[in-house]
Structure 1
Amino acid sequence: MPLYTVTTQTGVLDEQAKAALAGGLTQLHVEFSGVPRNWVHIVFHEYERGNAFTAGERAAVAALTLCIRVGRSDDYKRALLQRLWALLQEATAAPDDQIVIGIQEVPASQAMEMAAIMPDVPLPE
């Protein structure tokens, strides 16, 4: 179910950099959550120069949004955010003030994978 959307200015990530980032995001998510690799989806979006702003000024913003099932702890999400930040910054070379990352959560009952409603996130033992 995890769906990553990576948004950058055109030309920041070439095809090789996208593949490397997708591989890193997939590996991180599999290790962090224990979901199968084929559940991890990554979509790249690009915008033309001059179409992103920070503090009202044009900027080459690098953004990552992750959609996951509800049920992970706040500690889990904080640790995941820190790892995601490092991966995105390494891939884009963007400074801290030009990166934004957010996690969106949906109930498992509102998500499908492989033609089946997603199961709830297992509770920690």
Structure 2
Amino acid sequence: MLFHIFNSQEERRNYGGSAFVEIQFCKLPSGTATDRLVAVDSINNWQDDSLYIDDENVFYKEYSSIFDCGIYNNLKCGTVDIYGINYYAPALIDSIIERLRREKPVDYEVLIDWLIKSRRYNGFYILGL
């Protein structure tokens, strides 16, 4: 299984420590300036409602073509950076879900279920190692 959900930080630490890519809801309010959305100070890692990935190589191979529209910390846009901050706006969620359904990468169903929940937030992040 590529994606993991942990019920507590203790459970996550017991599974594998901190070597995870984290897919996290953006809980900042709608209308927040983009530079603030991608600022290091705006990120609170290790949320219990996040998805965690422990194999960044498989994730990149399977998903980099789908997550090719994120905004980096330097405000540029491109393919997912598994070592940095990647922000995906709410307007992108449905098109990402459609691409997942069409391309069917490994464990895509888990990610689709999580992305449907992300519609309640101001997009989401992929936070690198």
TM-score (norm 2): 0.30
In proportion to residue count, which structure has more strand?
1
Higher relative contact order (CA 8 A, sep 6+): 2
Task: Please identify the structure whose Cα radius of gyration is greater.
Answer: 1
| TM-score, normalised relative to structure 1 | 0.31
